[in-house]
Amino acid sequence: MSTVLIGVENVATPKWARRRGGTSVSLGKAIKSLPSAVSMVVRLAWRTSPRLTLMAGVVHVLSGCVTAFGLLATADVFSALLREGPTPQRVVEALPALAVVVGSFVVRALLDTAVAAVESSLRPRVTREANDEVTAVLVRAQLLAFEDADFRELARQGGRRGVRSLESSLRYLADLVSGGISLIAAVVTVGLLDPWLAPALLLAAFANAWASARASKLRYEHFLDSVTRNTRKGVVEEVATDRDFALERHALTLQERLLAEHRRIADSLMADEIRMAHRTNGVRLAGRALAGVGTAIAYVVLGVLLHTGGMELALAGTAVLAMRTGFSSLASTTRAVNSLYEDSFYIDFYRKLLVEGAERAQGSSPVTAPEDPGEITLADVSFTYPGASKPALREVNLTVARGEVVALVGENGSGKTTLGKVLTGLYPASSGTVRWDDVDLAEADPHSVHSSIAVIAQDPAQWPMTARHNVTVGRLEREDDEAWREAVAKSGADEVLATLPAGPDTVLSRQFNDGQDLSGGQWQRMGIARGMYRDAAVLVADEPTAALDAKAEARVFEGLREATARRTTILVTHRLANIRNADRIVVLDQGRIVEQGTHEELMASRGHYFELFELQAAAYRGGLLSSEASGKGLVKPA
């Protein structure tokens, strides 16, 4: 048996993380990719506070200029000190320039404080805005977007890394501005002293920039190559440590297998990371060697100039100082460009997430769906999940009249839940039309459609709220105590509330102090109460009683019967005894409707439904459980 428990190798890389073939690494590309990332950061900062953005720009430019100015003043100090003549006289002559240098230090210190103040006000605003945009895009996305694994991963990367990169790139952008200005000042100063020195300095600059860009690119490629494995590692970590899997993990003695799986993926990631780090170090070494050549050339040129009398000693001192300033500005500028370049990839995820999120946003339309449709009609409706190879529904034709109770039955995976979602406009039909009266849901405002539906899910959401809110969240604007009591009584949730330490005010979440968790059946009762409280015209109950005990189930069906007298109801269930009285039973098989009619009609036709019903009836009569009847029953013969 294979030791691979959760495969990695055969998992497709998300579309957005696929490398375009033959991408070459070049400084040009790095520089070209920067403006869009920079403009995104600047626009975001501007949106949060134009005043602070402007101030940040001004103080950074000023800070760069003051550094440059200080450099030139220091050059003057050198010139005065290294000039020929008596020392006291040279010192006195150097004093004005020295005063300018000291002044520039003071101004620089003040500007640094201003920079810190502006940045600490701007950065949290940018982070908040970026976070807000991601959250808004995800909150407003259509339901179907969350069925797409690619989109979910993009949301994770764009939301986490993208937002973090936006925040850090703001700092790097500031470093780039001030570092760039002082670098330019140094190159200009050196160039003015002797035109031969500037190219050598520039060679060192380009070598550093090339190495940084290439190292970033390698790191980014490594990131893309490991996206899928990192996702898988996350999955294994979850199943190996999460509470939801704890019971089966122990009962199935899977702990060591999961640990081995985790190590297998982690080892493969680690090996790649080490390989990438070695390559990056090699690139850096090449860059530094080239930069060293540039520096050496500069000093050789300087030596030759001094030797041949092409430059005075005082000016040579200034040149050395300017070159040193140049190299240190070069280091900070390169670091900033490098980090910005790396951030630009993740900012691109953020941008893609916003674009894709906007494309997948739940639209709005002036066409409103009827509040209580007289007839819901599906014509040739097919539906395929994103990324699925087979449709979940195929050419379904169905009409449900107001007040009708339609039961959907069929084997696992036959399409019952999907049909419930398409019929209520939660999922759009891939082809065919769904109409509520004469309104095509493809053209209707989704909010108006969803306002008229209530969904009782088989596995209801466990809202981390009080027990009361777990019910009233069904329709927050309702605030109807009488309806609350009724929903709680009919669903059997009243018995759950009676066991809670603070009754309806108990918080239902273990994440909070004094929070309480519920059993599966208890959560289901809360879900039913929520669906009943919502009191919508169209009710979809998907296996509403699967986790309930027999007494609670009987009570819920009694409650549902009363509630459904006023509503159009779609009931998905495997317990066929509960739907004998449904107005219509629709049998699905592999996404198609294969039979429909009342219980009596379907039993008379002796088809698919008859077979399923007889199987269940036999089980209740004891046929399946007795070895006598089946010859291979579950109960040992006495």
Q: Whose CA is closest to 401, among 583, 586, 600?
A: 583
CB of 571 to ligand ATP, least distance (A): 12
Q: How many CB atoms lie within 10 A of CB 231?
A: 21
Token representation of residue 615: 């199987």
Query: Does the footprint of ligand ATP cover residue 414 (CB under 6 A)?
Result: yes
Our finding on whether 589 is near ligand ATP (CB under 6 A) is no
Out of 139, 355, 388, 629, name the contact with ligand ATP by CB under 6 A: 388
Question: In the complex with ligand ATP, which residue's Cβ is closer, 147 or 404?
Answer: 147
Backbone angles phi, psi at 365, to 5 degrees: -155, 150
How far apart, in whole angstroms, are the C-alpha atoms of residue 44 and residue 169?
12
The span of 250-258, 291-299, 411-419, 464-472 binding ligand ATP (CB under 6 A) equals 411-419
Q: Using the rule CB under 6 A, is 616 a contact of ligand ATP?
A: no
CB of 590 to ligand ATP, least distance (A): 8
Candidate list 412, 481, 501, 600; residue touching ligand ATP; CB under 6 A: 412
Binding mask 21-60 for ligand ATP (x = CB under 6 A): ----------------------------------------
Please report whether residue 585 would count as binding ligand ATP according to CB under 6 A.
no
Please report whether residue 608 would count as binding ligand ATP according to CB under 6 A.
Answer: no
Answer whether 174's CB lies under 8 Å from 115's CB.
yes
CB closer to ligand ATP out of 147 and 272: 147
Is 417 a binding residue for ligand ATP by CB under 6 A? The answer is: yes
Q: What does the alpha-carbon distance between residue 577 and residue 407 come to, in Å, rounded to a whole number?
A: 11
Least spacing, CB of residue 389 vs ligand ATP, in Å: 9
- 385 is a site residue for ligand ATP (CB under 6 A): yes
| Residue 519 one-letter amino acid | S
CB of 430 to ligand ATP, least distance (A): 12
Q: Contact 44/53 with Cβ under 8 angstroms?
A: no
Select the span of 42-50, 216-224, 298-306, 409-417 touching ligand ATP (CB under 6 A). 409-417
- Residue closer to ligand ATP by CB (options 418, 448) is 418
Judged by beta carbon, residue 49 or residue 382, the one nearer ligand ATP is 382
User: Which parts of 194-233 interact with ligand ATP (CB under 6 A)?
Assistant: none
> Smaller CB distance to ligand ATP: residue 388 or 617?
388
Residues 6+ apart with CB under 8 A from 21: none
Question: To the nearest whole angstrom, how small is the minimum distance from the Cβ of residue 340 to ligand ATP?
Answer: 39
Is residue 415 a contact point for ligand ATP (CB under 6 A)? yes
**Residue 380 vs 558, nearer CB to ligand ATP:** 380
Sorted by sequence, the CB contacts under 8 Å of residue 97 that are 6+ apart come out as: 73, 74, 76, 77, 79, 80
Name which position in 262, 416, 525, 584 contacts ligand ATP (CB under 6 A). Answer: 416
CA distances from 304 to 114, 197, 297, 298, 467 (A): 44, 11, 10, 10, 85
Q: How far is CA 68 from CA 187, 197, 334, 370, 587, in A?
A: 10, 18, 18, 70, 81
User: What mask of x and - would describe binding to ligand ATP in positions 93 to 132, judged by CB under 6 A?
Assistant: ----------------------------------------
Residue closer to ligand ATP (CB basis): 392 or 508: 392
Distances from the Cα of 530 to the Cαs of 411, 488, 512, 542, in angstroms? 27, 8, 22, 14
- Closest distance between ligand ATP and the C-beta of residue 539, in Å? 17
In angstroms, give the least distance from the CB of 594 to ligand ATP. 13
Chain position carrying tokens 């849901």: 441
CA contacts within 13 A on the Cβ side of 486: 14
- Least distance to ligand ATP from the beta carbon of 599, Å? 19
The smaller minimum CB distance to ligand ATP, of residues 37 and 396, is found at: 396
- For ligand ATP, the binding residue among 7, 413, 503, 515 (CB under 6 A) is 413
| Residue 142 C-beta: closest distance to ligand ATP, Å | 14
State both tokens at 106: 């003071």
Rounded distance between C-alpha atoms, residue 81 and residue 87, angstroms: 8
401: tokens are 């009249």
Q: What token pair was written down for 551?
A: 């007494």
Distance CA 371, CA 352 (A): 37
147 counts as binding ligand ATP under rule CB under 6 A: yes
| 508 three-state secondary structure | coil
Q: Which is nearer to ligand ATP, 121 or 590 (CB)?
A: 590
Between 355 and 388, CB nearer to ligand ATP = 388
The Cβ of residue 140 has, within 10 Å, a number of other Cβ atoms equal to: 15
Distance CA 584, CA 599 (A): 7
CA–CA separation, 448 and 445 (whole Å): 5
The two three-digit tokens of residue 429, written as one number: 């039909």
Structure tokens at 12: 């497709």
With a CB cutoff of 8 Å and minimum separation 6, the contacts of 113 are none
Q: b/e for 236-256, b at 16 or more Cβ within 10 A?
A: beebbeeeeeeeebeeeebee
382 binds ligand ATP (CB under 6 A): no
211 or 406: CB nearest ligand ATP: 406
CB of 541 to ligand ATP, least distance (A): 13
> Can residue 179 be called a binding residue for ligand ATP (CB under 6 A)?
no
70, 287, 410, 527: which one contacts ligand ATP (CB under 6 A)? 410
Packed helices 313-359 and 50-82: angle between N→C axes, nearest 10 degrees: 170
Which one of the spans 158-166, 371-379, 412-420, 627-635 is the region binding ligand ATP (CB under 6 A)?
Answer: 412-420
For residue 3, give both structure tokens.
Answer: 């030791």
Residues interacting with ligand ATP, by CB under 6 A? 147, 385, 388, 392, 410, 412-418
